Chains A and B, each alone.
Chain A
Amino acid sequence: MSEQNKKVVIEFIEAMSAGDVARATPCVAPNAKAVAMGKSKMSGERSRDQMLGTLGSFTQLMPTGLNPKFIAVMAEGDHVVAEFEGNAKLANGEPYCNEYAMVFTLKDGKITLLNEYFCTKLADTLYPVVQQLGLAAKASVS
């Protein structure tokens, strides 16, 4: 089960990187939510619809994708943790290389909860770009 859960998580992260809602949707359970941890302007809880909606607008923010480089993926029971680095370029041409630890909870092979940890200081530098593009304040990945 853990190996299958890992596949779902990696599929979700890659779909997110590509801004591919159709690919991300089957990974996410009906009542899923995502929580961006910490005190950044991107922090807070997002419903399933917000998760997928912001994921869709993600390529506006990072046109060439997040390009995740996985450091480690660990799974036990219902949990999968993915530790990865992003190698993105923002719409304004600036590099954006945040570091992430994402803790997923799955049920019946779908993501029910995602707790996102990342450098909130760096994430706040995204905020003006997010506003400029008219995207939701709580980006799918910050």
Chain B
Amino acid sequence: MLSGPIERGTTLLPQIKSQRTFNFDQFRKGGILVLWGTFLKLVLAERLAIYVNFVWNGIDECSGIFMIIAAIAYSLQIYCDFKSYSDIATGVALMLGFQLSYNFYQPYFSESITDFWRRWHISLSSWFKDYLYIPLGGGRCKKVKKYRNILIVFLISGIWHGANWTFLLWGILNGILQILEDYTFLIREKICKLLRINCTVFSHRILKIIFTFVLSSFCWIFFRANSVTDAILFIQRMFIRWNPWIIFDGSLLNCGLMASDWVIVMLSLLLLLIVSVMREKKIDLVGNILCQGAWFRYLIYLLGMLSVFAWGVYGLGYDASSFIYFKF
């Protein structure tokens, strides 16, 4: 309840007070959500974490592409990790008859940082918006004041995640990026008009999505780093070497993940992508699964459980309560 979707009293309290009856459909939906969350956590997030930790624990030995892959991997890891937690919480709640709001709305499909913060950890962001940003004056005021408000919100958000300069920097960085976006909005629009760029087509939007992903991944570096010096060292070492061959010569296989692990990572990411696209297109995947024939449904459950069982990264030396976000 603390780290999952942070539910408003107005939506949650009436549900607690009201009489609930067992709803089989909701129960099944919740079950699938829990399974999906477990999959994201154990199969994807925990596996990516092995590589990410390997690089971060040996910043001095890694460089170039190792760093870049680690940065990307961490973006995906923290998303899967946090999303899995929200999904499990939402799923369990649904099984018990509570409706919790969605906490993530495909954040990595965002076309700008502003967009990103509308899709990432929605319950927290909207809380900040309603209880901090708007009381401060929100965006309907002078630009300088608006930018100040944005900075304050992200600063607080940073500190909220942990008492460390890294989180503070991460918050400020996000704030600055959002301010820059807002500040350059008119200029960018003019350039697009001048060069007759169609901003609504997929090819243009995918560029924006990639650019936004790169920016947010960059910010996550500070989030992951143990100290600001580590983060700066990490960024430095990203650029001191250009070694793309490590992707092909097997060097990546010496970083804690075997070839088969990478295959699982890729396949899982593909699955995540498909599911995300469907949600973005508002296709009700769970509903679709539930109205299929029994053999198909059970096959899905079985395969889901089997893959979590076998491919999940857990067991001796693994502490299942180490959800990254839990401590927040």
Partners in one complex: no
Interface residues of B (CB under 8 A from A): none
